Structures are given as structure tokens and as C-alpha cells.
């Protein structure tokens, strides 16, 4: 009798597992076939990144056809009379199910702080147009940057409009930060769309990024698209199994730290990044510390909870006084600026931001941990960093100011947060079309009730 009951229980468990696999198969395992693509001999998808000292070096990457395995760069310092320097590089061919392309990476070192450089790249007799980039002066502790969440645009999409709004609003940005999911899936066409949206600005302003789940191929063990590590050239000072994905660099008075949250696929990979992060924070002597990662510690979306990330990292963020944690993934805007510090409840903890720049929108959860929320709209964030403060301003895709704050820190490390925000408007909190289609009348009524309760608590 007991054995029969056990068999019945295990039968139910097996059915539930099979049902879950059937429902989630596409989300977890299915990789759509990549359409066929071809590349030509002209240099394309030119990008500035940095893998070394941000005040004395730049990395230039580009793509060409697989027959053009010899590349070169010509560059000169416009700030003083100088000859053009030429450097040569061999390309790396990457083959995917849709085609092949050659990728090139050149590191420019010993650049002069405060100088402006002009450059072009070449394959055989094919040259790109000339472009310019600037190196900040050594004494300038004030700088700005642009922070963008998930893009995940369709082919011939609309993200270029949002990008341009952000670029025009922060023309002197030191760099542009992406927190993963720049593409919808690891296909050449989607990479092409991302570069199209960035336009010439990607050739003049460095791009800083951390990978998201959409840069990975799905599977039991997920694998990062090789094109990610070919397009981007970042420091290799991270954990052994996350080189170029988990990394840090110091710029002016700030330590920036990238965590590859999608690479956490086992206990060992989780502990590897945590152990590395602890050392990076312990040895940090910069005034400001900014962590950027794809998955947030505190979700804005219904049905999502990244408790494992809080277990791994929150105590470290609190202990070592991390200032900002910038994330994406949830396709809604959220600011959590009053979560208690686990090490000292009277001390200001990190400010957590979730943002996206995608036409896709997700259903929001009216968590009391979030002090500001927005659904049904993409945003871009402009940050200004100085000796004594960090100021963040968030704008909607139409360029309308939506949220912001100033974080100040004195010589003792004591922090003060001043919020500059608009009243929580129901137009930015309303249910998504998807939620209205899939939910019952009772569920929709409950949603609006939760929304009104949250607004009454959170409106400034």
C-alpha cells in the first residue's frame, strides 16, 4: 500500500516536471536558427572601449569579412604636432550557424591625458571614415556618463531615437554604460541593429558593458556569444572563469565594478565571483563605488525575486559602503534608496536602480522597497560625478524628466541623499497591455488597488 502511494507521488512529481519543461522549453532551452548573413571587406561596427587605464589608453574594435584577416589603425594626437602612427593587427574569424566575420581589436596605450585623438581603421585598401575621441585631463575629478538598461530592440527598431536623446543630453559623457541585453538574441542582425542605433557615437565615446541573459545562448549550461567578447574589450582583472565580463577599473575618483550575474550558473561560479568581489572592495580606496550588473538585487517585476543575489552580494555592498548598484533585466524603472544597511541600520545603504531602454515592458510589482516606479515607458539615465556628490537624472524616452537624486558624502564617509522627483503619475504605473489581456477583472481591480495604495505611500 505504501509503495503504491510513493509511486503515485513520484508520478505526480514527474508529470509536474514534464509540464514545467513543456511550458518553459522555449524560455530555457530553445535557440532560434540564426538567419544567414554576409559581411564585406569594409570596416564596420567600429567601437571604442577600454581595457587598461582609462586616462592613458583606448581599445578600438571592428568587424570585416572573413577574407580580410589583416587590419590596421592610423591615429594621431591633434593636441600637438605629430606624425600619424600606424599599428597592424590580425583578425579573429568567428563562425556561427548564420555565417562568418573577422573581428579586430587594437589597444592604444601611452595616450596623453587632456588630448584629442583622430583615427581611422582599415582592412586591405578599405578605410573607415576618420573619427575623434578625447582623453580627460588628470586633474578633472568631475565627469558624466550615460547609463542604459536593456535595449532588446527589433530589427529596424526605435532604440536609436532614445539613444540620440541621451547622447544629445550628455554630449560630454566620459562613457556610455550598458547593463546587458543590448540584443534580443545572439544573431548577427540584432548586433547590427544595436550598432545602427548607436551610430557614430560608438566611435567617439567609450562603451562600458556587462553581459545579460540575451547575450547568452540558452541551454542547460548557457554560453556567452563569442561576438560579445570580440566587440568589447574590457579589463581582465576578474575571476578566472569570467575574464572580460566580471572586472573593475578606476576612473578619476570612482571604482566601477561589473558583475556577470548571468554567468552565475552553479554554486562554484557564484562563490568565485563573490570571493573576487570581496577582494576588489577590500582594496578599494576610491571616494565612490559603483557596481553594475544585469539582474537586480531588488526586482521591479511581478513574480521575480533574485534572493540568491541578495544572499551573495548585499552584505558586501553594505559592509564596504557601495554607493550605487545599477541594473536592468526587469523592463521597468525602479529606484530603491531607503533599504536598510545590514551592517548598520543607521547608515545609508546603496541606492539601487533598475532601468530599461526597450520597447518591451513588463508588469510591475508595487513593492514597498521601491521608492519610485515606472511601467510602460523606457528611460535613459544621466549621471554627473564630482568630488563630493553623484547626481542621477532619469528621463522618459520622450525626454521628459521623471526621477532623480543627489548623493553626497563627506570626509568621514557619511552620506546624505536628496531626492528630486515628480509625483507618481498613474500613467506610468498602469497595467501593461499584456497584463490586461491575461488577467481577470478581479485581478485587474486588485492591481489598481495596490497601485493607489503604493502611490499614497510614495508620493513626495
Among 421, 332, 409, 334, CA closest to 369 = 334
Domain count, the chain: 2
395 with 312, same domain: the answer is yes
301 with 367, same domain: the answer is yes
Would you say residue 318 lies in a domain? Answer: yes
Provide the CATH number for the domain around residue 69: 2.60.40.10
Per-residue pLDDT at 219: 80
Question: What is the 8-class DSSP label of residue 19?
Answer: H
Its domain, for residue 364, covers: 143-435
Per-residue pLDDT at 28: 56
123 with 235, same domain: the answer is no
pLDDT at 87 over 60: yes
Among 135, 163, 137, CA closest to 149 = 163
Would you say residue 65 lies in a domain? Answer: yes
Q: Which three cell numbers stand for residue 426?
A: 498613474
**28 vs 266, more confident:** 266
Q: Give the confidence band of 413 by pLDDT, cuts at 50, 70, 90.
A: confident
Would you say residue 19 lies in a domain? Answer: no
Rounded CA separation 405/419 (Å): 4
Would you say residue 16 lies in a domain? Answer: no
* End position of a domain, from candidates 113, 134, 155: 134
Would you say residue 368 lies in a domain? Answer: yes
The packing angle between helices 188-198 and 159-169, to 10°, is 30
**269 vs 459, more confident:** 269
148 with 189, same domain: the answer is yes
Within the chain, what is the greatest distance between any pair of CA atoms?
93
Per-residue pLDDT at 23: 46
| Tally: H helices and E strands in the chain | 10, 25
Rounded CA separation 269/257 (Å): 17
pLDDT at 218 over 80: yes
Would you say residue 5 lies in a domain? Answer: no
Rounded CA separation 333/393 (Å): 12
- Rounded alpha-carbon distances, angstroms, from residue 240 to 247, 273, 347: 11, 9, 34
CB atoms < 10 A from the CB of 85, how many? 13
pLDDT tens per residue across span 161-212: 999 999 999 999 999 999 999 999 999 999 999 999 999 999 999 999 999 9
Rounded CA separation 338/153 (Å): 32
Share of residues in the chain with pLDDT > 90 (%): 77
Per-residue pLDDT at 346: 76
165 with 129, same domain: the answer is no
* End position of a domain, from candidates 93, 109, 134: 134
Q: Give the confidence band of 304 by pLDDT, cuts at 50, 70, 90.
A: confident
**Segment 217-246 mean pLDDT:** 92
Q: Give the confidence band of 1 by pLDDT, cuts at 50, 70, 90.
A: low
CB atoms < 10 A from the CB of 270, how many? 18
- Rounded alpha-carbon distances, angstroms, from residue 323 to 84, 252, 290, 353, 408: 42, 16, 6, 11, 10
pLDDT tens per residue across span 49-78: 999 999 999 999 999 999 888 999 999 999
- Rounded alpha-carbon distances, angstroms, from residue 130 to 85, 171, 176, 200, 349: 14, 19, 21, 11, 45
389 with 417, same domain: the answer is yes
* End position of a domain, from candidates 134, 157, 188: 134
pLDDT tens per residue across span 95-146: 999 999 999 999 999 999 999 999 999 998 899 999 999 999 887 679 999 9
Per-residue pLDDT at 222: 85
419 with 343, same domain: the answer is yes
270 with 393, same domain: the answer is yes
Q: Cβ contacts of residue 293 below 8 Å, gap of 6+?
A: 179, 180, 210, 258, 259, 260, 261, 309, 325, 326, 327
| Half-sphere exposure at residue 252, Cβ-oriented, CA atoms within 13 angstroms | 19
Would you say residue 10 lies in a domain? Answer: no
Rounded CA separation 300/362 (Å): 9
104 with 150, same domain: the answer is no
124 with 170, same domain: the answer is no
Would you say residue 82 lies in a domain? Answer: yes
Q: Give the confidence band of 422 by pLDDT, cuts at 50, 70, 90.
A: confident
166 with 127, same domain: the answer is no
129 with 173, same domain: the answer is no
Provide the CATH number for the domain around residue 429: 3.60.21.10
**Segment 440-452 mean pLDDT:** 93
Amino acid at each position: 500500500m505504501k509503495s503504491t502511494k510513493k509511486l503515485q507521488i513520484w508520478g505526480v512529481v514527474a508529470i509536474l516536471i514534464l509540464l514545467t519543461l513543456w511550458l518553459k522549453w522555449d524560455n530555457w532551452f530553445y535557440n532560434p536558427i540564426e538567419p544567414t548573413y554576409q559581411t564585406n571587406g569594409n570596416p564596420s561596427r567600429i567601437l571604442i572601449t577600454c581595457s587598461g587605464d582609462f586616462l592613458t589608453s583606448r581599445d578600438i574594435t571592428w568587424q570585416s569579412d572573413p577574407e580580410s584577416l589583416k587590419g590596421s589603425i592610423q591615429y594621431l594626437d591633434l593636441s600637438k604636432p605629430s606624425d600619424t602612427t600606424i599599428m597592424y593587427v590580425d583578425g579573429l574569424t568567428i563562425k556561427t550557424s548564420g555565417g562568418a566575420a573577422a573581428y579586430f581589436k587594437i589597444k592604444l596605450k601611452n595616450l596623453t591625458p587632456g588630448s584629442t585623438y583622430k583615427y581611422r581603421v582599415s582592412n586591405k585598401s578599405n578605410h573607415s571614415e576618420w573619427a575623434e575621441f578625447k582623453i580627460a585631463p588628470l586633474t578633472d575629478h568631475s565627469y558624466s556618463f550615460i547609463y542604459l538598461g536593456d535595449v532588446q530592440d527589433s530589427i529596424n527598431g526605435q532604440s536609436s531615437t532614445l539613444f540620440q536623446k541621451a547622447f544629445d543630453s550628455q554630449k560630454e559623457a566620459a562613457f556610455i554604460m550598458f547593463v546587458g541585453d543590448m540584443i534580443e538574441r545572439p544573431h548577427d542582425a540584432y548586433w547590427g541593429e544595436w550598432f545602427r542605433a548607436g551610430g557614430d557615437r560608438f566611435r567617439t565615446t567609450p562603451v562600458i558593458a556587462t553581459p545579460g541573459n540575451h547575450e547568452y545562448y540558452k541551454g542547460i549550461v548557457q554560453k556567452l556569444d563569442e561576438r560579445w567578447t570580440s566587440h568589447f574589450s574590457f579589463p581582465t582583472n576578474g575571476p578566472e572563469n569570467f575574464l572580460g565580463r566580471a572586472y573593475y577599473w578606476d576612473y578619476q575618483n570612482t571604482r566601477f565594478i561589473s558583475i556577470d550575474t548571468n554567468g552565475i550558473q552553479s554554486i562554484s561560479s557564484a562563490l568565485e565571483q563573490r570571493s573576487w568581489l570581496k577582494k576588489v572592495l577590500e582594496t578599494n580606496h576610491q571616494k565612490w563605488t559603483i557596481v553594475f550588473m544585469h539582474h537586480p538585487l531588488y526586482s521591479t517585476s511581478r513574480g521575480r525575486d533574485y534572493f540568491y543575489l541578495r544572499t551573495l552580494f548585499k552584505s558586501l555592498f553594505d559592509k564596504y559602503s557601495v554607493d550605487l548598484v545599477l541594473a536592468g533585466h526587469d523592463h521597468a524603472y525602479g529606484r530603491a534608496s531607503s533599504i536598510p544597511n545590514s551592517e548598520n541600520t543607521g547608515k545609508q545603504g546603496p541606492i539601487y536602480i533598475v532601468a530599461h531602454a526597450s520597447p518591451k515592458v513588463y508588469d510591475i510589482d508595487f513593492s514597498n522597497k521601491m521608492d519610485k516606479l515606472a511601467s510602460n515607458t523606457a528611460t535613459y539615465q544621466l549621471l554627473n560625478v564630482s568630488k563630493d556628490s553623484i547626481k542621477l537624472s532619469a528621463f522618459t524616452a520622450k525626454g521628459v524628466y521623471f526621477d532623480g537624486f543627489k548623493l553626497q558624502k563627506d570626509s568621514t564617509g557619511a552620506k546624505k541623499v536628496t531626492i528630486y522627483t515628480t509625483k507618481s503619475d498613474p500613467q506610468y504605473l498602469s497595467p501593461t497591455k499584456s497584463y490586461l489581456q491575461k488577467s481577470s477583472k478581479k485581478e485587474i481591480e486588485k492591481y489598481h488597488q495596490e497601485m493607489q495604495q503604493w502611490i499614497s505611500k510614495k508620493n513626495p
